[in-house]
Structure 1
Amino acid sequence: MMNPRNIVYTLFLIAASSYYLYAQPCTTLPQDLEQRLRKHVEFLADDKLEGRQTGSLGEKLALDYLNLEFLKLGLKPLGERNYGMPFTFQEPVEVGPNTRLQAGGRSFEAGTDFYPLSYSANASLENVPLVDVGFGIEAPELEYTDYQEGTDYQGKVFLMNFSSPDGVHPHSKYLKYHDLAGLLATAKKKGAAGVIVYNPEDYLDDPPDSFKYIEDSGIPVVFVVRKHADFFKTLTSVDQLRVEMKAVEKTAHNAVALLDNGAPTTVVIGAHYDHLGWGGAGSLYREGRAIHNGADDNASGTAALIELAALLKEQGPKNNNYLFIAFSGEEKGLYGSKFFVEHSPIPLEKINYMINMDMVGRMKDHGLVINGVGTSPVWKEVLPELDCYGIQIQTTESGVGPSDHTSFYLKDLPVLHFFTGAHEDYHRPSDDADKLNYEGLAQVVGYIYTLIRRLDGKGKLPFTKTEEEDNQKRPRFSVTLGVMPDYVFAGPGMRLDGVTEGKPAHQAGMQKGDIILQIGELPVKDVMSYMKALSMFKKGDETTAVVKRGEEELTLKVVF
């Protein structure tokens, strides 16, 4: 048994340390923390990584860097390739160079004039009759058919209208026939050798030209763009219809490292390290291909992950283990985190809570958004106690959002998502390392480290489901101003982080930094009231907006 004098002395130290934590709740940041964070970001956001596209060579270079950093910290690898945990994913189907459409003496360009649909088979037809089958509907219960008795359809290419006799809308009596798969099944039964689909309606979206899986109907199926539809209606045959497609499967890696304290529960700390590569899907850049380095999104969170691992390894609390995960595939749809929660090497019931850092490098005005505070009652107890570095927090309740914490929340685990706000470089090539606020990024690291220390004695946190604000409260609107809100601005009003050229706000004269106070007769107090105001307008409406620019209030004319 411990000496009584030592027991008294130990109790004194515990009391003193508790008082110290309350009086000075935030950790003193290491002097070189900003420098180390900058080093990580500058490597991850370098052009040589070509934007860290999921499954690319750039992702591998980033993974190698993470392997080295985790190895230097002496963390336990939980992956198959050092710390790498592989997972496979589907890329959009590749359309081969031999895909062709020729008719009426003209050749049509794949991807521009026409494109294969997901229901298509790889097949080739030459010199085949073409027959117009209207909408391709056979509805005996409605006493309607587009297929005429006595007409020979066998072995012909069908030209099919993508709409219906009364249009495409929720009240159409042909509602159950607004299904291309069903229409193609009927066409095949009628003897179709292939199908060419067109869309004459301005209000109706064309069928997708990008898809990940081939749903082979057994015949070639293509869509021709609207400007060529009338030409095809004049034809009686197709010279050549050939479709060549292949599914594309790739492998990506999460980086997974464990700090094992022998504790019964484990805290997951995560950040995605992938980005958009050379642009494409998800990019807001419209001037061609360019490397998207993703310094804030999300080299900033990845750098914070490495430095939190270092702090927790060196002097972290011991009542939890800590699992550090750099996710890939986030930009494509949370692929890496979804894979992890389905294949976790640690039982999910042993996970205490999850902290996610996504875009934490552009702090301004000491603002920090923390999403997910409704996922455990403990968050609302502890967060108000933290008074760190002058940081002003904005919180939201929901555990669901466009980042990797969502995958853990959907497994009934408490989550927090840290975010320093959107900006005009988001998903553009201009999101570079020199634009980050490294002092603010270091403060985010210190804030989260302090939070983890404060939670160490709380045991396993209870989980609560949250009302999903996106579905329950968010107004629906059909128009946009073309602005990027400043999500960390506390109001009143909604401050603009960016204005998209050519959109209504830009045409009205709004500028980055303006604060919208009113749209029409509706006051704007925050982002939610802004969306409510937008929901009152439709395309073509005119109104006014009151904005504050500096100390001046301006009334601007807005045309949606």
Structure 2
Amino acid sequence: MKKISLLVLFISLLGCKQEYSYKNKIKEDVAFLADDKLEGRETGTKGEQAAAAYIVERFKELGLQPKGTEGFYQTFTFKPKKGPHGEVDYTNAGEDSTITGTNVLAYIDNQAENTIIIGAHYDHLGYGSEGSLHRGDKDIHNGADDNASGVAVMLDLAGKLKTANSSNNYLFMAFSGEEMGLLGSNYFTKNATLDLSKANYMINMDMVGRLKQDSTLAVYGVGTSPRWKQTLSATNPGFKIVENESGVGPSDHTSFYLQDIPVLHFFTGQHDDYHKPGDDTEKLNYEGMDAISNYIFDVITELDKSGKLAFRKTKNESEETPRFKVGLGVVPDYLFDGEVMRVDGISEDKPEQKAGLQKGDIVIKLGDSAIVDMMSYMRALSVFQAGDSTQVVVKRDGKTVEASIQF
């Protein structure tokens, strides 16, 4: 009887040891993803594949289920755009000039009716592809903030939600191809591995690693559901929130908003190392990342028993510029290309219209700043005030056009 009792005790202790225990590995995850050995994680490269394999191992460690088309993976093959006005052609592997990207998907099945999608892109620019702002010698772009930071927070949330807030299922996604134009998230929404009509909402983290001393945190998509603003306010531990109503922007949440899914996108702001080799691990605010993860967890907790959120389309999406003292009245084409900024429309009686710019113009320079995507455009715009004058340079029908603008 004594031996049987000891055996039962041993089995009980063994069971306890195998129980899931959350551990914060944000810094460890960033260190791996932003290491020189991954050579900048450009889509389709060995470095990106190594990052994907690491994320799979972390999902397994957290006890999550695979939710891709091949285990945790969902691959997609495409031909790069032939020109700035071209469209990406998703195609079959093995054809000439194709690139294969890999989304990584994991699932917590709580046997609930609806699923919350939590994502972050893990690809970056390798040694400096077309989106690089680096003008020196060729160098690795590690992308610690962009976007190892978002992936690390996504994994941290997976760890926290493994044993909490069970009124929804959870799909965790590491997207590929974001830097080439939101390709991975766009592909997923058209080839989803779950019923998107059952998607409750989507949360995206892109560049959340450099929270500043004033704790300013940008949250985009707050107009995509009537519940967002109240919930964000009720759970805010002290962030200085910069809200943007629009569900459309230069990151992967856009793909889900366009499927009528409420979205939130978290972002800690622009910096001088954006799309440059200087975006390295030692410059991140890890305490800030932990605070952002806790905040998002609290938002999810607040809504846990609220059922499926109502979706709402947002208005004036492209003109929402709350961080700027001036605006051009330009309507950007966010889905045109993740690496440039094309004008999709001009508001009447605004600076760009007065300057004679046209729909379809590709903005390549504003003032002294080169424009390669929406983020660099916003950064360039933020230095101007009402009454300032500057030059804008655009590409139009293959020609360079320069115009003067007064704000």
Confirm or deny a common fold (TM above 0.5): yes
Match of 1:179 in 2: none
State which of 318, 337, 356 in structure 1 corresponds to 2:185: 337
- Tell me, in whole angstroms, the C-alpha distance in 2 between the residues paired with 1:212 and 1:338: 11
- Aligned residues: percent identity? 48
How big is each residue's C-alpha offset from its partner over 1:56-76, in whole Å with a ceiling of 9 and x where there is no partner? 101110011011100011111
Contact 2:201 2:261 in 1 (8 A): yes
Q: Which has the larger radius of gyration?
A: 1
Within the alignment, does 1:84 sit opposite 2:67 as a pair?
no
- Give SS of 1:447's match: helix
Residue 108 of structure 2 corresponds to which residue in structure 1? 259
Instruction: Please list, as runs of the form range in 1=range in 2, the aligned pairs for 1:190-209 lying within 5 A after superposition.
Output: none
Deviations 1:68-114 (A, max 9, x none): 1000111110124431111111136xxxxxxxxxxxxxxxxxxxxxx
> Aligned match of 1:282 in 131, 156, 160?
131
Pick from 482, 492, 502 the counterpart of residue 368 of structure 2: 482
Asked whether 1:38 is paired with 2:21, we answer no
What is the TM-score normalised by the length of structure 1? 0.54
Q: Which residue pairs with 2:5 in the alignment?
A: none
Tell me what 1:463 maps to. Answer: 311
What secondary structure is seen at the aligned counterpart in 2 of 1:281? coil
Q: Which consecutive residues of structure 2, in runs of 5 or more, have no partner in the other structure? A: 1-20, 90-94, 321-326, 331-351, 356-364, 371-377, 394-400
Letter in 2 for 1:74: G
> Residue 289 of structure 1: CA displacement?
1.9
Q: CA deviation at 1:536?
A: 11
Which of 393, 396, 402 in structure 1 is aligned with 2:244? 396
**Contact 2:72 2:104 survives alignment (8 Å):** yes
Q: Which moved further from structure 2: 319-328 or 281-290?
A: 281-290
Distance 2:84 2:165 in 1: 51
Partner SS for 2:304:
helix
- Aligned equivalents of 2:383 and 2:139: distance in 1? 33
CA offset at residue 247 of structure 1?
3.8
Q: 1:301 aligns with which of 150, 156, 166?
A: 150
**What does 1:96-495 correspond to in 2, within 5 Å?**
247-314=96-163, 316-364=164-212, 365-388=214-237, 390-470=238-318, 475-476=329-330, 477=352, 480-482=366-368
The structural deviation recorded for 1:518 is 4.0
Counterparts of 2:80 and 2:268 in 1: how far apart (Å)? 31
In structure 1, give the amino acid aligned to 2:143. Answer: G
Tell me, yes or no, if the aligned pair for 1:273 and 1:298 is still in contact at 8 Å. Answer: yes
Q: Counterpart of 1:379 in structure 2: which amino acid?
A: W
Q: Separation in 2 of the partners of 1:450 and 1:341?
A: 26
> In structure 1, how many angstroms separate the alpha carbons of the residues matched to 2:234 and 2:281?
32
Residue type of the alignment partner of 1:383 = L
Query: 1:78/1:43 Cα in 2 relative to 1: closer, same or farther (>3 Å)?
Result: same
Picking from 29, 47, 69, the partner of 1:58 is 47
Contact 1:475 1:535 in 2 (8 A): no
Provide closer, same or farther for how the CA distance between residues 91 and 540 of structure 1 changes in structure 2, counting only shifts above 3 A. Answer: closer
SS at match of 1:288: coil
TM normalised by structure 2 equals 0.74
Deviation readout 1:305-354 (Å, 9 max, x if unpaired): 1110000013x211100100000000011111011111112111100000
Aligned in 2, Cα 1:534/1:317: closer, same or farther, shift over 3 Å? farther
**Equivalent AA in structure 2 for residue 347 of structure 1:** D
Q: How many residues align?
A: 331
Q: CA offsets, 1:36-58, max 9 Å, x none? A: 21111010000110000111101
Query: Residue 373 of structure 2 corresponds to which residue in structure 1?
Result: none
* Residue number among 56, 60, 68 corresponding to 1:71 in the alignment: 60
Asked if 2 retains the 8 angstrom alpha-carbon contact of 1:268 and 1:353, the reply is yes
- TM-superposed CA distance for 1:384, in Å, is 1.5
How many Å separate the matches in 2 of 1:212 and 1:268? 25
CA deviations on 1:525-548 (whole Å, 9 max, x unpaired) are xxxxxxxx76999968699x9xxx
Tell me if the contact between 1:424 and 1:498 (Cα under 8 Å) persists in the aligned partners.
no
Instruction: Tell me, yes or no, if the aligned pair for 2:69 and 2:193 is still in contact at 8 Å.
Output: no
CA separation in 2, counterparts of 1:517 and 1:275? Answer: 29
Secondary structure at 2:218 match in 1: strand
Name the CA distance, whole Å, in 2 between partners of 1:542 and 1:369: 28
